[in-house]
Structure 1
Amino acid sequence: MIELAGLTKRYGEKVAVNNLTFAVRPGMVTGFLGPNGAGKSTTMRMILGLDRPTAGDVRVDGRPYDRLKDPLKSIGALLEARAVHGGRSAYHHLLCLAQSNGIPKRRVHEVLDTVGLTAVARKKARSFSLGMSQRLGIAAALLGDPRILMFDEPVNGLDPEGIHWIRTLMKSLAAQGRTVFVSSHLMSEMALTADHLVVIGQGRLLADTSMAGFIEQNSRSCVRIRTPQPERLLDVLHAAGITAVATGTGAFEVDGGKPEHIGELAARHQVVLHELSPRQASLEEAFMRLTAESVEYHAHTGTPPAAQRWGDGGGRS
């Protein structure tokens, strides 16, 4: 388990992490989400003792990281895939880690096989693609057979097969009762992988809940209806106190309605339905809604103002 209590990190006047308190529990994949600049990487670095907190406390299996007797056997982490000496082969990089941490040599071969790098084990790390570097970083995290795994953007550079593999690996590690903590910007992938979510914005905790609970609490649900008898449908719904809104595509939506109730009403009044489907927002939509006020960098669509002035003949400003 990873436990944070009032964890805070300041860099001069900037507060990167602000009084974070949460626990990452075993037996599930916990997703760590937040906009760019939210403080995710800083939080992970403090968990590993790479940055010292300004205030608060963080413990790994009940102890600060620097007091763990065998750190790699307690927690394995992937923070930066390229943080490998380019002149070393994958095999010798892992062997060095194993020998310096009292890990049997056989584990090097085992983790190389697990991540699919056995065939290139003797190649220099500098020749690796980003995806291969990610696999090597994951191998290093697994080397000590730790109870806790922490991954920062583990799918970067991986092809579809690799993404499916790391998703399956993380789920299997959690199923073994291990603690799995993963940060990612790929919402579609996180929706398929995580059981629980911790969301931060501008260094503050915004949510600590199950995946299903997060989407339910931060999104709009509705029932979508399509019929060749729109006026009759609207009359029936109105009489039942239900408001339907036209979508502009020939369908209607009812916020918070139950499809069973609407279907029964339509059947009772002999209204033909071509579609009756519940709609739930995606993880991405729920995340965007929750973090809208916490985004540090806002991009804008359309032509930049300066370009518009130039095109309108306004000249240089």
Structure 2
Amino acid sequence: MIELAGLTKRYGEKLAVNNLTFTVRPGMVTGFLGPNGAGKSTTMRMVLGLDRPTAGDVRIDGIHYDQLKDPLKYIGALLDAKAVHGGRSAYNHLLCLAQSNGIPRSRVREVLDTVGLTAVARKKAKGFSMGMGQRLGIAAALLGDPRILMFDEPVNGLDPEGIHWIRNLMKSLAAQGRTVFVSSHLMSEMALTADHLVVIGQGRLLADTTMADFIQQNSRSYVRLRSPQREQLLDALSRAGISAVEVGNGALEVDGGKPELLGELAARNGIVLHELSPQQASLEAAFMRLTAEAVEYHAHAETVGGTTPSPPEQQPEWGATWQQRKGH
């Protein structure tokens, strides 16, 4: 378990991490999300004692990192896969780490096999591709068979097979009761991997909740209906006190409706439905909505022919943000 209490980091005038308090619990994959510059990497560095907090505290199973004996047996981390001596082979890199933490030599071959690098174990790391470097970094994180794993952008440079592998690895580690804390900008991958989310923006905590609740709290939920008896369907909905919005392709949308109740309503009125589908925004859409005010670096559309393209039509607001609904 990783516990943060009022964790704060300031670099001169820059407040990189602002009073963060949350707990990363075992038995689940916790995703760590935030825009560029939100303070994710700084937070992870403070967990590992690489940066000293300006204020607050962070503990690993109740202990500060610098008090851990043989820390690789407690927590394994991938923060920068390039942090490897290029002149060393993959085997010797891991062997040095193992010897410094009282880990048996046999464990080196085990983790090389786990990450699929056995065939290149004696090759120098400087010749590795980005994906191979990521696998070596993951092997180092697994070396001490720790109860806590922390990964920063673990899928960088991996091919589709590698992405599928690391996703299943993280789920497997969590299923074993381990604590898995992972930061990634790939929302589609995070949606498939994480059970719980911690979201920060400009160093502040924005959300600490389950994946399902995060999407529900920060996105619009509605049901789409299509019928060749469109007018009869509108009348039936109106009589039941249900508001529907007409959209393109002859479809209707009902905010917050339950598909089974709408289907039963249509059946009672003898209305044929060609579509009855619940719609929920993606993790990416929910994330973009929550963090819109916390983005530090804004890109702008490139001008073409001396003119700037018109902005896309604004999406409607669908209620308060997660923090507002929680009373923050």
- The bucket for the TM-score relative to the shorter chain is over 0.9
> Which deviates more from structure 2 when the two are superposed, residues 140-149 or residues 229-238?
229-238
Runs of 4+ in 1 over 2 A off after TM superposition: 303-309
SS at match of 1:103: coil
Q: CA deviation at 1:306?
A: 8.8
Q: CA deviation at 1:308?
A: 2.7
5+ residue gaps in structure 1?
A: 310-317
Q: Which residue does 2:224 correspond to in 1? A: 224
Question: Does residue 147 of structure 2 align to residue 147 of structure 1?
Answer: yes
Question: Does residue 97 of structure 2 align to residue 97 of structure 1?
Answer: yes
Question: What is the alpha-carbon root mean square deviation over aligned residues?
Answer: 1.2
- Cα-to-partner distance string for 1:193-236 (whole Å, 9 max, x where unaligned): 11111100110001111111111111110001011121221111
Q: Which residue does 1:181 correspond to in 2? A: 181
The TM-score, its normalising length taken from structure 1, stands at 0.95
- Give the Cα–Cα distance (whole angstroms) in 2 for the partners of residues 216 and 117 of structure 1: 41
Q: Which residue does 1:129 correspond to in 2? A: 129
Question: Does residue 195 of structure 2 align to residue 195 of structure 1?
Answer: yes
Q: State how 1:186-265 maps to structure 2 within 5 Å.
A: 186-265=186-265
Q: Which residue does 2:110 correspond to in 1? A: 110
Q: Which residue does 1:313 correspond to in 2? A: none
Q: Which residue does 1:14 correspond to in 2? A: 14
Q: CA deviation at 1:81?
A: 0.9
5+ residue gaps in structure 2?
A: 309-328
- Give the Cα–Cα distance (whole angstroms) in 1 for the partners of residues 172 and 66 of structure 2: 28
- Give the Cα–Cα distance (whole angstroms) in 2 for the partners of residues 54 and 249 of structure 1: 56
Q: Which residue does 1:156 correspond to in 2? A: 156
Q: CA deviation at 1:51?
A: 0.4
- Give the Cα–Cα distance (whole angstroms) in 2 for the partners of residues 190 and 283 of structure 1: 8
Question: Does residue 91 of structure 2 align to residue 88 of structure 1?
Answer: no
Q: CA deviation at 1:307?
A: 3.7
Q: Which residue does 2:170 correspond to in 1? A: 170
- Give the Cα–Cα distance (whole angstroms) in 2 for the partners of residues 111 and 197 of structure 1: 28
Q: Which residue does 2:67 correspond to in 1? A: 67
SS at match of 1:139: helix
Q: CA deviation at 1:300?
A: 2.6
AA in 2 matched with 1:5:
A
AA in 2 matched with 1:187:
M
Q: State how 1:24-39 maps to structure 2 within 5 Å.
A: 24-39=24-39
SS at match of 1:249: helix
Q: CA deviation at 1:305?
A: 7.9
- Cα-to-partner distance string for 1:24-66 (whole Å, 9 max, x where unaligned): 0111111000011100000000000000000000001111100
- Give the Cα–Cα distance (whole angstroms) in 2 for the partners of residues 125 and 224 of structure 1: 53
The TM-score, its normalising length taken from structure 2, stands at 0.92
- Cα-to-partner distance string for 1:84-125 (whole Å, 9 max, x where unaligned): 111111011101111111111001100000000000011111
